[in-house]
A and B are shown apart, each in its own frame.
Chain A
């Protein structure tokens, strides 16, 4: 069953690559069917999995496992896979190849979340890079080659450090199967170097401030479908690996690193929001807002209490949905106006009422409005912070002011004010576009109203993990 989660998009990718050349329409339909089938398989796999049991034992190289941390992320991957395919529908440059690569990304990311041992994990981790590199480099905006290269070299450098860390862990500490990591941590002396070798690669993926400069370029230059997967799914690989590998393998080193993680988290929350506030390019604004949101994830991981880990999961899922929706909407706007420059936009509440309503909705979700998905995770992260970091909590809480500022600035500059005359006659969202937007909105409301949907799934794994992460900072 778990193998099918990877094979379905992979097969779909091959089929689209081969048959999709017939016509753009064939490619589109096949890709949509493949992504829907993949999502269906993920749902079935999550529904039938025993939930908490991670595979362990003998050194088989092909072993897959799904624990509670992976399950919601897999669902998110399958869901955003469909959305990315829908978002690419107006792609005219070799659509078959584009769809095939999107599905390949989905397959390899699913592999990362399902890998049952460290070797497989590494293989999938690297495999994600290749299709994503091409998606950015071929279908991106003007500066795509540079952005793609930067993305590649940056994360490849991170992977190199990670590889060293993994090799030491495997051959000095006998770490191999995911399910065994928590019960057989490395010797204390090894933990420090291994934790940081791994974590630098992981934190780069999120990314945290300082290791982030590939991200605004990659997110902005990528085509809409690529931005959705980059921000929605790829960023989560870093947090997942932190929770699933770095912490279990090196709990003592994690404990020592917690103040650093907390600091990186809080810096990300404030820095990402302030820099987002300084943007005049809508897509870049969304890119920097991602840094702020992932800051809450890093903060929550640094706090490490059971509820804080639940908060990290919630923020991850929420960010996948919200950033996905924002990038999708920004892309739809770009298709109509040919620009992301907010000084040229304005008054779309009147011109594109449906699109503008969706955009305001997504912005409110991004600023953490209760009832929508951003709120429960941020709430739980901040509430859990006081016990560990006391008054520093106020800095994280201050993030809600800045997130309101940049999100509402975007709404004001795009939706409000007088109508930008050059765009007075453009058409509102069509049915096919709604089909991509509406599911995201529903997902955002579901997670916002019923966060236990996510935390309940993750609970057994988080509870086990919290046995080593809990405790005073």
Chain B
């Protein structure tokens, strides 16, 4: 326990080293290396657990003010009196994140042993998973924004490389690139926020920034908070930067579980919680967070309803659930948001791995070609239902308690947002019921032979089902770890959310128990609205038309007009003109390099001679009439 406690950076260094070893091992050693790689997440998990207890006794009002349990830093770049430092510091928030990251990464690696068993690129795959684990751990243990930004970008790069893991497929290559570029648009916000904080306070560590916060004007604090949120929105796929996440499903499904459901996409939520005092100082920024979060939660939940690809349902669900977390942050309930983050990580990773098991067993992602899989894949079906119940907010499952805290916080801040989220919760229960019924119940509609994967695939499902079901009972422990006090369940909210969850489930079962035909009748009665929802309200098409196309046109125009016609035209044109300026001048431009060499050599000799006798040059300068 000691070393995990005192040197949490080992949890970054170990998976980083393992990434190199696993990658260098190549495909021949991969069957061994993939097990070795699991030491990385184990170290992360161990570090998190070691710090969980210690962090609980802090009694703090905001993250990072006084509850740090281990810290250290190095000067990374310094010139003169100015130094950029990188360091680590662990508090309760970090400890919770470490446990989440370590546990989910471990489960995903175990699952991947089965899921990726036949893939020739396994060494690359497990090396990238290790690199991701290292980077995600670095992101949460960094003691300031520079360190966070370093690992923030690295998780993005891992995400890019893993979405495009099957890079020969054009859609995967396109999705990878889109994910990186869209999140980088958000990163500009984070980057500028960092520059403002460094420029005004000379600080980049969280503790330093928070201490120096009173120096900043109110307007600048709001600007910083909103810029940070832009960064968070890119990473956490919030409207309008959400468009990369559905495409990211091109990556292997365990990757979707780890990166695009449980950990990396939650980094935006973590960032806001981590920089909480900045947000707390700006009511305007909190309103922005609340509005974007609530809007994303509701809109994305309605999109998830119309998807036929099981992974797309989960992708839009993830966007929506992250919206719930941001709504909680915007409402001031950052501890509720982190509790929700932890619960969501377990049940959504479970659902994604479950979908992976289904895809692996039935060779399709289209739910219209599934049905009745509960008979052939009972463990997957059972654990999936646990995850679905948690997501839907069925009482006593983890999502129920977490959602209760979130909704309660939002209710106090904004009744409108509360109503919107309650509606979103109803849609959530509905779409996950639809997916559950279409996949596991009724009769099988496909033409393959669905089967359960081996123990490496179902054991992680079972392991994840435990927190997905029971994490709600750890609510008070998590609250204490985060330096707060556990609040009793709000019965009003619980009654409302249970009611809407049951409505969503019942409607879902009634509509879809006879199979996917219900879609057609919904389309018949909803018409354009249904088609719009199915197409994600055309956000992709809009981004293509209003952003990608203009930028591409600008690039082409800049090149064709400015670069070629204007800049180069002047140069080439003047060359043509000068070539015609008399015989002597023309001789100069024949391209005879030797002549230049001689001329220059002479020039240099003259200069040197003049330097030795400055008097001569002064004479010449005088002659030139200076």
- Using a CB–CB cutoff of 8 Å, the interface residues on chain A facing chain B are 59, 61, 117, 119, 122-123, 126-127, 129-130, 133-134, 137, 145, 148-150, 152-154, 156, 163, 167, 170-172, 176, 209-210, 212-214, 271, 274-275, 277-279, 305-307, 309-310, 314, 347, 349-350, 360, 364, 368-371, 375-376, 379-380, 382-387, 393-394, 397-398, 400-401, 404-405, 408-409, 411-412, 415-419, 451-452, 455-456, 458-459, 462-463, 466
Can you list 15 A-B contacts with CB-CB less than 8 angstroms, sorted by A residue number?
A123-B608, A130-B593, A210-B567, A271-B562, A274-B551, A274-B559, A278-B555, A278-B558, A279-B559, A371-B154, A393-B196, A408-B177, A417-B168, A417-B170, A463-B80
Whether A408 and B180, one on each chain, are in contact in the complex, defined by CB atoms closer than 8 angstroms, is yes
B72-104 interface bits toward A, Cβ cutoff 8 Å, 1 = contact, 0 = none: 000111111110100000000000000000000
Q: Flag if B173 contacts A167 (CB, 8 Å).
A: no
Measured between beta carbons, the chain B residues less than 8 angstroms from A209 are 567
Please indicate the chain B residues that have their CB under 8 angstroms from the CB of A310 in the complex: 77-79
Q: Is B157 an interface residue (CB 8 A)?
A: yes
Q: Which of A152, A275, A409 is the one whose CB lies under 8 Å from B593?
A: A152
Is B575's CB within 8 Å of the partner chain A? yes
Contact check, B167 vs A401: say whether CB atoms are below 8 A apart. Answer: no
A156 to B597, CA, bound (A): 11
Given contacts A305-B82, A400-B187, A412-B173, contact A386 B195 (CB under 8 A): yes
Please determine whether B168 and A153 come into contact, CB atoms closer than 8 angstroms. no
Question: Residues 328-364 of chain B: 1 if any A CB is under 8 Å from the residue's CB, otherwise 0?
Answer: 0000000000000000000000000000000000000
Is A61 touching B611 in the complex (CB atoms < 8 A)?
yes
Question: Can you add 14 more A-B contacts, CB < 8 Å, to A405-B181, A418-B170, A455-B79?
Answer: A126-B603, A127-B600, A127-B604, A137-B591, A150-B571, A170-B611, A271-B562, A274-B555, A386-B198, A393-B199, A412-B177, A416-B173, A418-B168, A459-B80
A370 and B607 contacting across the interface, CB-CB below 8 Å: no
Q: Which residue of B lies closest to A376 (CB)?
A: B77
A382→B600 contact, CB < 8 A: no
Q: Does B184 contact A (CB under 8 A)?
A: yes
Question: What residues of chain A lie closer than 8 Å to B540, measured between beta carbons?
Answer: none
Q: Tell which of B164, B560, B591 touches A416, judged by Cβ atoms closer than 8 Å.
A: B164
- Contact residue among B77, B551, B567, B603 (Cβ-Cβ distance under 8 Å from A452): B77
With a cutoff of 8 Å between Cβ atoms, the chain B residues found around residue A397 in the complex are 188, 191-192, 195
Q: Give the docked Cα–Cα distance between A412 and B621 (Å).
A: 59
CB distance from A289 to the nearest CB of B (A): 13
B559, A123: Cβ atoms closer than 8 Å: no
Closest to A388 in B: B199
Q: How many residue pairs bridge A and B at CB < 8 Å?
A: 216
Name the CB-closest residue of A to B617. A171
Contact, CB under 8 Å: B76 / A213: no
Residues of A within 8 A of B603 (CB): 126, 163
**B76 surroundings in chain A (CB, below 8 A):** 376, 451-452
Assembly CA distance A134 to B558 (angstroms): 32
A129: chain B residues within 8 A (beta carbon): 596, 600
Indicate whether B57 reaches chain A with its CB closer than 8 angstroms: no
Chain B 515-538, CB within 8 Å of chain A: the 1/0 string? 000000000000000000000000
Q: What residue in chain B is nearest A403 (Cβ atoms)?
A: B184
Q: Which residues of B contact A416 (CB under 8 A)?
A: 164, 167-168, 170, 172-173, 176
Give the complex CA separation of A134 and B157 in angstroms. 41
Given A275-B555, A371-B150, A401-B192 contact (CB < 8 Å): no
How many angstroms between the C-alpha atoms of A306 and B75 in the bound complex?
16
Task: Name the residue on A nearest B164 (C-beta).
Answer: A416
What sequence of 0s and 1s flags, for each residue 179-213 of chain B, a beta carbon within 8 Å of any chain A beta carbon?
A: 01100110110011011101110000000000000
Contact B558 A271 (CB under 8 A): yes
A209 to B558 CA separation, bound complex (whole angstroms): 12
Which of A306, A349, A386, A401 sits near B199, CB closer than 8 Å? A386
Q: Is B229 positioned at the interface, with any CB of A under 8 Å from its CB?
A: no
3 closest A-B pairs by CB: A386-B199, A416-B173, A306-B80
Which residues of chain B have a CB within 8 Å of any CB of chain A? 75-82, 84, 146, 149-151, 153-154, 157, 160-161, 164, 167-168, 170, 172-174, 176-177, 180-181, 184-185, 187-188, 191-192, 194-196, 198-200, 551-552, 554-556, 558-560, 562-563, 567-568, 571, 575, 589, 591, 593, 596-597, 600, 603-604, 607-608, 611-612, 614, 617-618, 621, 626
Closest residue of B by beta carbon distance from A411: B177
Tell me the smallest distance from the CB of A458 to a CB of chain B, in Å.
8
| Bound CA span A212–B564, Å | 11
Instruction: Look across to chain A and name the residue whose beta carbon is closest to the beta carbon of B559.
Output: A278
Determine the residue in chain B with the shortest Cβ distance to A467: B80
Measured CB to CB, the closest approach of chain A to B321, in angstroms, equals 27
A418 contacts across to B, CB distance below 8 A: 168, 170
Say whether A394 contacts B593, CB under 8 Å: no
Smallest CB–CB gap between B615 and chain A, Å? 10
Contact across chains for B170 and A171 when beta carbons are under 8 A apart: no
Please determine whether A274 and B200 come into contact, CB atoms closer than 8 angstroms. Answer: no
Closest to B77 in A: A451
CB distance from B498 to the nearest CB of A (A): 44
CB-CB under 8 A from A127, the residues of chain B are 600, 604
Contacts of B552 in A (CB 8 A): 277-278
- State whether A455 and B199 are in contact (beta carbons under 8 Å apart), knowing that A152-B596, A278-B555 are contacts in the complex: no
Given A275-B555, A371-B154, A383-B194, are A466 and B80 neighbors across the interface (CB < 8 Å)? yes
Contact B84 A380 (CB under 8 A): yes
Q: How far is the CA of A455 from the CA of B78 in the complex (A)?
A: 7
Provide the bound-state CA to CA distance between A409 and B181, in Å: 10
Contacting residues, chain A, for B593 (C-beta < 8 A):
130, 133-134, 137, 148, 152
Most B CB atoms within 10 A — which of A149, A309, A408? A408
Determine the residue in chain A with the shortest Cβ distance to B605. A123
* Residues in B whose Cβ lies below 8 Å from that of A145: 591
Q: How far is the CB of B608 from chain A (nearest CB, A)?
A: 6
Contacts A349-B167, A412-B173 hold; do A213 and B199 have CB atoms under 8 A apart?
Answer: no
Interface centre among A176, A274, A383, A387 (most CB of B within 10 A): A383
Distance in angstroms between the alpha carbons of A42 and B604 in the assembled complex: 26
Partner of A383, one of B157, B195, B600, B608: B195
B180 and A274 contact, CB distance less than 8 A? no
A311 to B: closest C-beta gap in Å:
8
**What is the CA–CA distance of A227 and B614 in the complex, to the nearest angstrom?**
39
B188 lies within 8 A of A274 (CB): no
Name B16's closest neighbour in chain A (CB-CB): A371
Determine which of B84, B153, B199 lies in contact with A370 in the assembled complex, contact meaning CB atoms within 8 Å. Answer: B153
Chain B residues near A123: list those with CB within 8 A: 604, 607-608
State the CA gap A134–B153 with chains docked (Å): 43
Nearest Cβ in chain B — how far from A147, in angstroms?
A: 11
**With a CB–CB cut-off of 8 A, which chain B residues contact A383?**
84, 194-195, 198-199
Cα(A84)–Cα(B373), bound, Å: 61
Determine whether the beta carbon of A369 is less than 8 Å from that of B191.
no
Q: Nearest chain-B residue to A415 (Cβ)?
A: B167
Does A167 contact B621, Cβ atoms closer than 8 Å?
yes
**Closest chain A residue, CB of each to CB of B591:** A149
**Contact of B78 (CB < 8 Å), options: A278, A393, A412, A452:** A452
Neighbour of A350 across the interface among B168, B180, B551, B612, CB < 8 A: B168
Instruction: Assess whether B600 is in contact with A130, with CB atoms less than 8 Å apart.
Output: yes
In the assembled complex, the CB of A271 is this many whole angstroms from the nearest CB of chain B, namely: 7
Bound Cα distance from A153 to B596, whole angstroms: 10
- B555 partner residues in chain A, CB cutoff 8 A: 274-275, 277-278
Q: What residues of B have a CB within 8 angstroms of the CB of A134 in the complex?
A: 593
Residue picked from B173, B177, B181, B567, most chain A C-beta under 10 Å: B173
Q: A400 to B589, alpha carbons, bound, how many Å?
A: 41
Distance between A226 CB and nearest chain B CB, rounded to angstroms? 14
